[in-house]
Amino acid sequence: MSTVERLIVIVLFEGVDLLDVTGPPEVFALLGRETDGTTGYHVLLAAETMDPVTTSAGVRILPDITFDEASTKSIDTLLVPGSVETDSQGRVHALTDPTVVSRVRTLAARTRRVTSVCVGAHILAAAGLLDGKRATTHWSTAQQLAAEHPLVEVDADPIFIRSGDVWTGAGISACLDLSLALVADDFGETVALRVARQLVMYLKRPSGQSQFSVPLEPVSTTRRIEDLRHHIMRNIGEQLTVADLAAYAHVSERQLTRIFKSELGMPPSAYIESVRVELARHQLESTDVTLERIVTACGFGTIDTLIRAFRRRLDTTPTEYRLRFRTNSG
């Protein structure tokens, strides 16, 4: 039986993040096992020369072909990983080598689908491939991406985003989720779920899944906003209006909104909803409590409000979320 293979070219360069390069091929390699080898991908690593490339982890990788050779092939998917440097104050900065950017721009012109992993989105943006598109990257460099490329609609929350034939993924293990999404797009959800099981990934996460949860967000430097956040958590089952919070903080509602937008990047109502959704997520993942009890505990008021919040923030319903992410059989 003939094998249908789609050519995937992964871009290599000095200092590239190792997992960005090695994670996706692991996903693609398992596809053959789940389809008896009748469909799948052919992965090639491309670099400027055939010399070994040293990754950020210090591991050296041998390219399969040069960029010049890759430019003569019919590429199905171009996958662009990223690279970062950390300054003396611990701040992370995404790197974009002009030569790599130029090569990616050239290869993208003969590619059906372009994808980036983690901070590889910065390379796509520098190549002009994200202009006018919504894109994500690792949360630590999202502000840099937005500042350097104002034509890109940067959304740091999702684990991956598809904008036409351009896909961008978030950081670290999200490269596996993005790769599974590509498999699902090419060969269907059923096959992708089987591959996910081979990877011992309990379920395939949807693109709307957040990169990080509310409690893990960077802590504010303002004592007043931290006090408000704790107050919200202690009283999350209550109504919690903007007027109530303003009275608690002894400021006007307008001033309260300015504080939240400045410190947390969102108005009070959006922050309260994000906390409620996060708490509901944890209950759906780890307990069998009813939606009615979750509504009461998290302060949603009604099941309809809970459903609307999940659709708005996670692009799914509470029931669908529980089916995907339930991790405790009880």
> Residues with catalytic annotation?
118
- Give how far the C-alpha of residue 227 lies from the chain's centroid of Cα atoms, to the nearest Å: 30
CA dist 5 and 238 (Å) reads 55
Tell me the residue type at 174. Answer: A
Distance between CA atoms of residues 114 and 148, nearest Å: 20
Nearest CA-CA partner of 29 in 169, 198, 159: 198
Q: What phi and psi, each to the nearest 5 degrees, are found at residue 244?
A: -65, -45
Q: Amino acid identity, residue 201?
A: M
Encoded amino acid at 224, one letter: R
DSSP state, residue 14: T
User: What three-state secondary structure class fits 79?
Assistant: strand
33: which 2 tokens? 């096992």
What Å distances lie between residue 77 and 3, 109, 116, 130, CA to CA? Answer: 18, 11, 10, 16
Collect all residues with Cβ–Cβ distance below 8 Å to 208 and sequence separation of at least 6.
158, 313, 314, 315, 316
Alpha-carbon separation of residue 211 from 61, 200, 241, 269 (angstroms): 28, 20, 27, 21
Strands 92-94 and 134-135: unpaired
Provide the residue type at 185 as one letter.
D
Angle formed by the axes of helices 18-34 and 189-198, nearest 10°: 110
